[in-house]
Amino acid sequence: MKAGRFYEAAATVWLTASVLNGVIAHHYDEEASRAKGIEQIYTAQGNQQQAAEWSVYSSGERHERNINLELIALDLGLAALSGVIAVSHRREQEPTPQPTQPAPEA
């Protein structure tokens, strides 16, 4: 496999990983929002123990979301780096154009 192709494939893998981490981060965000809503319900009912448990759960989910957001940034950075390397390899493999000389006049 040519080096340029390898880095193109690597860029694709990192972009795919960033999309997957985005889906996971979205799930954690949705779960944290749901937990926050349940916490507010328990707080309104005066059940502080249950509210505290849901608050801890919500905080944990937000923490997991933040980890996945950091992974997305890392994945996108690696994808960009792989793409730049792939482009540089492609340029190295392109033949250099030869200057054209005008046809001699008769």
98 pLDDT band, cuts 50/70/90, is low
Provide long-range contacts, Cβ within 8 A and 24+ apart, for 1-4: 2/89, 2/93, 3/89, 4/86, 4/89, 4/90, 4/93
Residue 91's pLDDT band (cuts 50, 70, 90):
low
HSE of 104, CA atoms in CB hemisphere, 13 A? 1
- For residues 25 and 61, give the distance between their C-alpha atoms in angstroms, rounded to a whole number: 9
Amino acid at 96: T
pLDDT tens digits for 28-84?
A: 999 999 999 999 999 999 999 999 999 999 999 999 999 999 999 999 999 999 999
Please state the rounded mean pLDDT for residues 94-104: 65
Domain boundaries, the chain: 3-93
pLDDT classification of 4: cutoffs 50, 70, 90 = confident
pLDDT at 26 over 90: yes
Write out pLDDT tens, residues 43-53.
999 999 999 99
